[in-house]
């Protein structure tokens, strides 16, 4: 089978590997769609934490079952996605149901080789039934689950004002689930094309471009001086994260979905006087995956909205670097294996 291996930052190699052997308790999956996410792009440019090379990237996946042992309700030919956060099951996080932040977590495509290959072997316990959903839809469940988890972490309530910093794929998912929760969304991004996408495709009324306007003043105007009850960073950009502390309402919650290697810094008096709450949001749980699937089936979310670029599996290496450039207009690139 064919596979794309990221040998080191900026270098892909197209290789031939053996198809994984059947294992007890595992499903052999034939990969059909590979969503390209920020984690993959950051790994390619060498800025992804928790990462080592060489690595096969890819964890936003849709597949069909080629072989299975102990599948229960699953059978050969089923369309599936899967939860790519392999957990130990016995650490303090796992014992409390927080499998998304297991102390010994192995994220598919990050800590272990991922899905940019034609076949993968996955423990049955992580499979998610796709039913009659399209492969494109199933490949988007994982990134949308990240957004759903961030909103659940924030405890967003109907009527609240939620400022989302970053209108990339993860930020867009955050916005969608904030909307589904009944919140009013404010999108913040320096890319005007992405803000236009928010307005036209997601019906986000309030958008702010920090490179063209004073974000603090704009937020004060939009919120009538209250400021957002919830601020969520989906950029992983150090300056954006640090600036986000200034946008919080008194009593507000700040959730970091984006990940940054460096140390964040903020004014303790400003944070303290607000009695603000700072949280991280990592990965997602099966509850989030189920919520995303329910919202897709209820047509509360249209997955087709997000896919802007499609390539064949063989083209990944030649096209990947272009997706680092905001001028490409990419929201979500999808690789197809037919």
209 conformational bin, left if phi > 0, alpha if psi -120 to 50, beta if neither: beta
Element (H, E) at 4: strand 2-8
Same domain, 58 and 118: yes
Element (H, E) at 152: helix 141-154
Same domain, 183 and 241: yes
Q: What is the DSSP string of 12-36?
A: EEEEE-PPPPP-TTEEEEEEEEEEE
The total domain count for the chain is 2
Is the Cα dihedral 6, 28, 83, 85 positive or negative?
negative
CB atoms within 10 A of CB 110: 23
Is it the case that residue 118 has pLDDT exceeding 70?
Answer: yes
Which burial class, exposed, middle or buried, applies to 254 when counting CB atoms under 10 A from its CB (0-12, 13-18, 19+)? buried
The pLDDT, as a whole number, for residue 38 is: 86
Which burial class, exposed, middle or buried, applies to 68 when counting CB atoms under 10 A from its CB (0-12, 13-18, 19+)? buried
Same domain, 172 and 48: no
Element (H, E) at 123: strand 119-123
Element (H, E) at 332: strand 332-336
* pLDDT tens by residue, 236-261: 999 999 999 999 999 999 999 998 88
Please, are residues 229 and 249 in contact by the beta-carbon 8 Å criterion? yes
The average confidence (pLDDT) of the chain is 95
Same domain, 185 and 232: yes
Tokens representing 233 are: 């960073």
Mean pLDDT, rounded, for 126-134: 96
Same domain, 171 and 207: yes
The pLDDT, as a whole number, for residue 71 is: 67
List the domain range (segments joined by +) for residue 38.
Answer: 2-140+306-336
Tell me the pTM.
0.94
Same domain, 120 and 31: yes
* pLDDT tens by residue, 161-209: 999 999 999 999 999 999 999 999 999 999 999 999 999 999 999 999 9
Please, are residues 215 and 208 in contact by the beta-carbon 8 Å criterion? yes
Measured between its terminal Cα atoms, the distance across the chain in Å is 13
The pLDDT, as a whole number, for residue 290 is: 97
Region of poorest pLDDT, from 12-16, 192-196, 268-272, 303-307: 303-307
CATH number, domain with residue 238: 3.40.50.720
The pLDDT, as a whole number, for residue 277 is: 98
CA atoms of 218 and 227, how far apart (whole Å) = 10
Same domain, 165 and 134: no
Please state the separation of Cα 154 from the chain's center in Å.
Answer: 16
Query: Does a structural domain hold residue 104?
Result: yes
Same domain, 237 and 180: yes
* Residue 2: strand, helix, or coil: strand
């Amino acid at each position: 089978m064919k596979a794309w291996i990221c040998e080191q930052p900026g270098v892909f190699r197209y290789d031939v590997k053996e198809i994984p052997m059947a294992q007890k308790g595992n499903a052999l999956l034939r990969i059909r769609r590979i969503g390209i996410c920020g984690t993959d792009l950051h790994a390619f440019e060498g800025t992804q934490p928790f990462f080592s090379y060489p690595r096969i990237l890819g964890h936003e996946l849709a597949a069909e079952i080629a072989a299975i042992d102990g599948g229960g309700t699953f059978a050969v030919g089923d369309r599936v996605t899967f939860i790519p956060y392999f957990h130990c099951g016995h650490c303090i996080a796992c014992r409390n149901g927080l499998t998304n932040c297991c102390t010994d977590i192995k994220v598919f495509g990050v800590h272990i080789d991922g899905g940019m290959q034609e076949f993968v072997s996955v423990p049955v316990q992580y499979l998610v039934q796709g039913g009659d959903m399209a492969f494109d839809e199933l490949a988007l469940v994982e990134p949308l689950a990240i957004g759903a988890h961030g909103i659940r972490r924030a405890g967003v309530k109907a009527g609240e004002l939620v400022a989302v910093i970053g209108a990339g794929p993860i930020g867009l998912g955050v916005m969608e689930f904030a909307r589904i929760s009944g919140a009013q969304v404010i999108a913040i991004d320096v890319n005007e094309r992405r803000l236009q996408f928010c307005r036209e495709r997601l019906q986000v009324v309030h958008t702010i471009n920090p490179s063209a306007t004073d974000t603090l003043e704009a937020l004060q105007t939009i919120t009538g001086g209250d400021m957002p009850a919830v601020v969520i960073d989906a950029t992983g950009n150090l300056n954006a994260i640090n600036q986000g502390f200034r946008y919080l309402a008194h009593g507000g919650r700040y959730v970091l979905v984006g990940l940054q290697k460096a140390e964040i810094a903020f004014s303790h008096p400003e944070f303290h006087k607000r009695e603000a709450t700072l949280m991280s949001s990592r990965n997602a749980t099966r509850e989030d995956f189920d919520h995303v699937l329910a919202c897709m089936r209820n047509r509360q979310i249209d997955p087709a909205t997000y896919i802007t670029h499609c390539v064949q599996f063989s083209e990944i290496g030649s096209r990947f670097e272009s997706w680092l450039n905001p001028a490409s207009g990419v929201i979500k690139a999808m690789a197809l294996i037919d």
